[in-house]
């Protein structure tokens, strides 16, 4: 536990969205001290509470996504609930939402209306296609963003249909870009005193990481396609089978690193071979080179091969499963497996905080709320100064 002040402790965030993209942004901000108040409709929990595997009736994904957050209930579909949110906006710095564009406007909670109440408010909006353009009203999920952003077409093997990556990468990429936008807007506000809208689209977040996909096509007439475990023209960079029937990853495409790989293989002359001596030549002779490397890796157990590669300074590693991650001493040394007490399950392991800050690192203080509205009294009574009578009245009306 850190004793110093966390870097975002003076930032209050209202998180209105559900599922992955919006709430992941809230998680990242909360990791570094922001007071994130999660808003859920009464009687209609965020589906993430029950997604994934469970133990003792408790979802195993939810504590990761909701860590450090407070939980309140509020019905934004009713005018009285909208007025309550506006009261909260007066006391907030950021509103996060990942509804379909137009939803906040339908609820009389547009940025224009909220900024009249609080000119410093920053609205972080994450959606499938953004707040403008001909597709803005379409429903959008991360999977579709991955497809339209270009990622799915280059994922998988050339003789098979496009495939997905094993995690919700479209949503998390959007959350990362939204977090960057939020922090940029907070910094800019320190100069102007004004808030603004951060508009993040799922498909654009994916497209932004697609490297030279567009100039490859427009300027070189090259269409990137699925290439399995390789990158076009980049060699050696692949997975290689070992004597104990596992795979290791080796990345040695830079000239100096390739020379060290050749030394590790006991074949230093390959570094001078015209077929492999340059980056371009290695790309042209990728299949031959990969077969030669795999002949070497197949002669050794993975552990032995990796020790030799490490000694020579060649980037390499096993393809980890959960068990490997948990047993790895480097993960442990960098606090990448955190454990906190869950009220139902007991000790609960989860990923650590990224990135590491040297002076004011982030912190997981608690695992969020195990039930909806856990912090209703704290937020409504302490933050907004409500009397018990108003709290009870709005409960009876199903507003909170």
**pLDDT digits (tens), the chain, 400 positions:** 445 789 999 999 999 999 999 999 999 999 999 999 999 999 999 999 999 899 988 999 999 999 999 999 999 999 999 999 999 999 999 999 999 999 999 999 999 999 999 999 999 999 999 999 999 999 999 999 999 999 999 999 999 999 999 999 999 999 999 999 999 999 999 999 999 999 999 999 999 999 999 999 999 999 999 999 998 889 999 999 999 999 999 999 999 999 999 999 999 999 999 999 999 999 999 999 999 999 999 999 999 999 999 999 999 999 999 999 999 999 999 999 999 999 999 999 999 999 999 999 999 999 999 999 999 999 999 999 999 999 999 999 999 9
Nearest to 176, CA basis, from 211, 152, 208: 208
Nearest to 332, CA basis, from 318, 352, 317, 360: 352
Regarding beta strands 316-318 and 247-251, do their DSSP bridges make them parallel or antiparallel, or are they unpaired? antiparallel
Contact 348, 339 (CB under 8 A): yes
Q: Which H helix or E strand runs over 311?
A: helix 302-311
Regarding beta strands 197-201 and 122-127, do their DSSP bridges make them parallel or antiparallel, or are they unpaired? parallel
Q: Which residue has the tokens 């023209």?
A: 233
Q: What residue ranges do the domains of the chain occupy?
A: 12-209+333-396, 237-241+247-318
**At residue 391, what are phi and psi to the nearest 5 degrees?**
-60, -45
How many residues are given for the chain? 400
Give the pLDDT confidence score for residue 3 in this predicted structure. Answer: 58
Measured CA to CA, the distance from residue 342 to residue 66 in angstroms comes to: 12
Give the pLDDT confidence score for residue 2 in this predicted structure. Answer: 46
Q: Which residue has the tokens 């980056």?
A: 279
Give the torsion sign (CA, 137, 141, 144, 145). Answer: positive
Contact 260, 312 (CB under 8 A): yes
Number of H helices, E strands in the chain: 17, 13
Superfamily in which the 12-209+333-396 domain is placed by CATH: Crotonobetainyl-coa:carnitine coa-transferase; domain 1 (3.40.50.10540)
Give the torsion sign (CA, 63, 69, 74, 76). Answer: negative
Rg from Cα positions in the chain? 25
Cα torsion at 254, 256, 259, 263 (round to 10°)?
Answer: -120
Contact 208, 178 (CB under 8 A): no
Residues with active-site annotation: 171
CATH number for region 237-241+247-318: 3.30.1540.10
Q: If 0-12 CB within 10 Å is exposed, 13-18 middle and 19+ buried, where does residue 222 land?
A: middle
Q: What's this model's pTM, rounded to 2 decimal places? A: 0.94
Measured CA to CA, the distance from residue 216 to residue 233 in angstroms comes to: 12
Q: Which H helix or E strand runs over 316?
A: strand 316-318
Contact 196, 122 (CB under 8 A): yes
């Amino acid at each position: 536990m850190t004793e110093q002040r966390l870097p975002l402790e003076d930032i209050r965030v209202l998180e209105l969205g559900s599922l992955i993209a919006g709430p992941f942004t809230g998680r990242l901000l909360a990791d570094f001290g922001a007071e994130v108040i999660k808003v859920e409709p009464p009687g209609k929990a965020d589906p993430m509470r029950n997604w994934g595997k469970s133990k003792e009736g408790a979802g195993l994904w939810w504590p990761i996504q909701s860590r450090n957050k407070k939980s309140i209930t509020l019905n934004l579909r009713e005018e009285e609930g909208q007025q309550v949110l506006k009261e909260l906006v007066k006391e907030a710095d950021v509103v996060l939402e990942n509804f379909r564009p137009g939803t906040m406007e339908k609820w009389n909670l547009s940025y224009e209306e909220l900024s009249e109440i609080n000119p410093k408010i920053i609205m972080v909006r994450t959606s499938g296609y953004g707040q403008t353009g001909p597709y803005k009203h379409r429903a959008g999920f991360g999977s579709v963003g991955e497809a339209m952003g270009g990622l799915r077409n280059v994922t998988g093997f050339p003789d098979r249909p496009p495939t997905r990556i094993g995690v919700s990468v479209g949503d998390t990429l959007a959350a990362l870009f939204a977090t960057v936008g939020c922090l940029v807007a907070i910094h800019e506000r320190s100069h102007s005193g004004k808030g603004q809208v951060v508009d993040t689209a799922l498909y654009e977040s994916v497209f932004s990481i697609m490297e030279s996909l567009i100039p490859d096509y427009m300027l070189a007439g090259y269409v990137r396609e699925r290439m399995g475990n390789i990158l076009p023209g980049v060699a050696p960079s692949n997975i290689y089978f070992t004597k104990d029937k596992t795979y290791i990853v080796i990345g040695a495409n830079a000239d100096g690193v390739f020379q060290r790989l050749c030394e590790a293989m006991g074949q230093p002359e390959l570094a001078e071979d015209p077929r492999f001596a340059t980056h371009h030549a290695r790309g042209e002779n990728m299949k031959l080179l990969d077969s030669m490397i795999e002949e070497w890796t197949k002669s050794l157990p993975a552990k032995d091969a990796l020790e030799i590669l490490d000694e020579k300074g060649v980037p390499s590693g096993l393809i980890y499963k959960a068990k490997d991650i948990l047993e790895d001493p480097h993960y442990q040394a960098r606090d990448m497996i955190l454990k906190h007490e869950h009220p139902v399950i007991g000790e609960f392991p989860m990923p650590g905080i990224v990135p590491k800050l040297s002076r004011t690192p982030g912190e997981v203080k608690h695992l969020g709320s195990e039930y909806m509205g856990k912090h209703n009294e704290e937020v409504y009574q302490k933050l907004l100064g409500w009397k018990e009578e108003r709290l009870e009245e709005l409960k009876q009306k199903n507003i909170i």
